[in-house]
Chain A
Amino acid sequence: MSNSLPEQTKTPAPAGVFTLVITGAPYSSQAPQTALHFARAALAANKRIDRVFLYGDGVHLASSLSTPPSDELNLSEAWAGFMAENNIPGVACIASALRRGLVNESEMQRHELSAFNLRAPFEIAGLGEWVDSAASESRVLYFHRGS
């Protein structure tokens, strides 16, 4: 029986720049930690990460209020530190974020909420940020919750 997979003659995008899309939530899924390990390995191999985009349940990663026990890894803090050290922009999708109670100061005011909880350097923006990456030369990798 012959292999029916088409021969791959070229990669879909140059394997030098990556966009990471994280849709799995911290602590409910391994997605944010796997993505962080990938990101560290990519930079160590002289690759670039142009953007981290949080979507769906992945927006919980940008919460400034997550407070795991002190002997556990704080994934939000680890990601925020990594992005700040390496000047990587992090964006949480606004629709996903507002639906799940993750807001910045301006959204707090707009929706007359009592608090905001977006952790710097994450920002809140629309899906256009993801479209921008998808339409660029970046290779877009998705980190889902898994089944």
Chain B
Amino acid sequence: MSTLIIIDQPPYGSWEGREALDMAFSLAAFDQPVSLLFCGAGVNWLRKGQDATTIQQKSVERNLAAAPVFGVEALLADNKACDHYGLTEEDLLDPVSITDFGPELTSRFDHVAFAG
């Protein structure tokens, strides 16, 4: 049973993305294979050098840094969304792979869930 969790929400506009990340970490904690895909405004999660102290939140960059530790298999960024936000691989956190989001990707997983 492999799961793809899709985060399509921006990092600081709501808690939906953070709660989707918790879902991914929870699957990984129970030894269920899980990957995360960021698309739409969700690719902004993956920017390097985030600082959320002025809004009294934890940087999602720090949350994401825990993904490999928890056993999340892959952090994926949708190619089109990266283009839309002007993000290249150099702008993104190290473990991220840019990929095309479509049926070929989602069909590789048994279970696909959106953040909200």
A interface vs B, CB < 8 Å?
Answer: 4-6, 12, 21, 23-24, 55-56, 95-96, 99, 126-128, 130-131, 134-135, 140, 142, 144-145
Contacts and interface: CB of A to CB of B under 8 A. Distances in A.
Contacts of A135: 1, 30, 32
Interface in B72-116: 102-104, 107, 110-111, 113-114, 116
A89 B107 CA distance: 31
Contacts of B23: 55, 127, 130
A96 B23 CA distance: 11
Interface in B20-54: 22-23, 26-27, 30, 32
Interface size class of B (residues with CB under 8 A): 20 to 34
B61 interface: no
14 contacts: A4-B102, A6-B103, A12-B110, A23-B16, A55-B23, A56-B15, A96-B19, A99-B15, A126-B26, A135-B32, A140-B111, A140-B113, A142-B114, A144-B116
B30 to A, nearest CB: 5
Contacts, number: 49
Nearest to B16: A56
B19 A131 contact: no
Interface in B47-67: none
Most buried by B among A96, A128, A131, A144: A131
B15 A134 contact: no
A4 B104 CA distance: 9
A123 B41 CA distance: 34
Contact of A6 (B15, B104, B110): B104
Contacts of B30: 128, 131, 135
Contacts of A131: 26-27, 30, 32
